[in-house]
Amino acid sequence: MTTPAQDPARVTRRRRKHERQAVVFGLLIALLVVLGLGALAVYTDTIEAPFSEPIHTPSAAAATIEPACLPVNERWPDGAPPMQYNNVNVRVYNAADINFNLAGANADVLTERGFNVRDTGDFTYEIEGRSEIRYGVKGIREAYTLAAQYADVRLVLDDRPGEFVDLLVGQEWREPLPVEEVPLENGEPMANLPGCLPAEEIDPIPREYGYQRGPNADDSSEEA
């Protein structure tokens, strides 16, 4: 019994179909192998995961905001003087990934200088760059007075209603300046920070809540 001859066109189509299937399955297998090797490398810390670093939108917004200029008042024809330290209400929070009581250490120095430290604890996320001072429109002089204690700190305006200021100790933190190097002399007017804008021209970032507060927190500070 003889086998009937097959249609050459049908044979060609079938062969091409098998070839396409082989290519598709080959690519899928190769992709699975690559993904498996990549997962193994991440698991064994051979390479870093591409999404291992958290993205913090508030931090990015704060990094681009300009400082507010000092308020203008007819009582200060030559410029705004610094606040008396005991009239500056400060909360200090650790925003650096360091197993050290950065908030407490800074709070101790500021307390010794007469600042009214009302709370210490941890911030809600890490600040990768410089330390920041968060303040509202009513606390600009307070923020400048506190900023003068440090060689490099960023001022960030948020929409808080009160005069409290928050010091967030970032990854690139610096210790407070020695008292003799603080550029505040006998109540002389303070200088505006470079690039400052009038407060009304700045879009403040939303104030953040939920700080991990210390055991000696002053409950009234939450009203600021």
Interval 49-87: pLDDT, tens: 554 444 444 555 666 789 999 999 999 999 999 999 999
In whole angstroms, what separates CA 97 from the centre of its chain? 12
Least confident of 4-13, 14-23, 121-130, 143-152: 4-13
For the chain, what is the mean pLDDT? 82
Same domain assignment for residues 188 and 204: yes
Same domain assignment for residues 163 and 202: yes
Q: Which of 35, 52, 69 is the last residue of a domain?
A: 52
- Positive or negative, the CA dihedral 182, 187, 193, 199 is positive
The strand pairing partners of 111, in sequence order, are: none
> Structure pTM?
0.69
The amino acid occupying position 93 is: Y
Q: Which is more confident, 22 or 218?
A: 22
Same domain assignment for residues 183 and 147: yes
Query: Would you mind telling me the total number of residues written for the chain in this entry?
Result: 224
Number of domains within the chain = 2
| CB of 133 closer than 8 Å to CB of 165 | yes
- 7 torsion bin: left (phi>0), alpha (psi -120 to 50), beta (else): beta
Q: Answer yes or no: is 96 within a domain.
A: yes
Q: Which domain holds residue 179?
A: 57-223
Same domain assignment for residues 93 and 179: yes
Same domain assignment for residues 209 and 105: yes
DSSP state at residue 158: B
d(CA 7, CA 12): 9
Q: Answer yes or no: is 1 within a domain.
A: no
Same domain assignment for residues 97 and 40: no
Same domain assignment for residues 15 and 104: no
CA proximity to 95, closest of 200, 144, 167: 167
Question: What per-residue confidence (pLDDT) applies to 219?
Answer: 45
| CB of 71 closer than 8 Å to CB of 197 | no
Q: Answer yes or no: is 2 within a domain.
A: no
Same domain assignment for residues 167 and 132: yes
Q: Which of 52, 71, 88 is the last residue of a domain?
A: 52
